[in-house]
Chain A
Amino acid sequence: RKEVEQDPGPFNVPEGATVAFNCTYSNSASQSFFWYRQDCRKEPKLLMSVYSSGNEDGRFTAQLNRASQYISLLIRDSKLSDSATYLCVAVSGYSSASKIIFGSGTRLSIRP
């Protein structure tokens, strides 16, 4: 079993729709979580950190559920420009020995 798992998709939704996807992690010691966005043939870019209380950045909302060990990303009023692959990251520990694990990504395609 992968330490961080994501549904690879693709999620194909119409413009303006709300879409959500989850990412599960197996290491209960994971302490920090992030969502990255990666466009085709480009580098990943940090989208947002995920806080325990949940956090929102414009149309994007990230949630953390420690009991069930998953994080989620909700995108409201989706735009064509939201089409990308979304990677989740789980980090265990803050020292030099911490582990940083990327999920394989969920592909999102927004159609007109």
Chain B
Amino acid sequence: NAGVTQTPKFRVLKTGQSMTLLCAQDMNHEYMYWYRQDPGMGLRLIHYSVGEGTTAKGEVPDGYNVSRLKKQNFLLGLESAAPSQTSVYFCASSQGQGSGYTFGSGTRLTVV
């Protein structure tokens, strides 16, 4: 039972570089989410998806893009990384909005 798998686990980027974070879930969940977690700020929603082919903005979407081409995958892209995007990124999935989440193990991103 893999649950939610995130890759990579760690990454260091230079300012201006781009990268894609991959999230894969094997639970056939409809809903998928990308969060960032910063000290003292808690988890903040970046983007989410309520089904294959759909995406929507969360609380802090600027500087990020997402795609959900397949139900099991949710990609988070950083087009031009900035130091303010240094954070821990968590992907999560759920069967419904009122259901509990299953989180991936996180990606620690540092932008220098």
Contacts and interface: CB of A to CB of B under 8 A. Distances in A.
B98 A91 contact: yes
- Chain A interface size, under 10 / 10 to 19 / 20 to 34 / 35 or more: 20 to 34
Contact of A87 (B41, B42, B45, B102): B42
Contacts, number: 48
B50 A94 contact: no
A93 B43 CA distance: 19
A42 B90 contact: no
Interface in B55-112: 56, 90, 96-98, 100-106
Nearest to A96: B50
Interface residues of B, number: 21
Contacts of A34: 100
A104 B38 CA distance: 9
Nearest to A43: B103
Contact of B98 (A8, A32, A44, A46): A32
Interface in A13-57: 31-32, 34, 36, 42-46, 49
B97 A43 contact: no
A79 to B, nearest CB: 23
Contacts of A100: 33, 45, 97
A87 to B, nearest CB: 7
Contacts of A105: 42
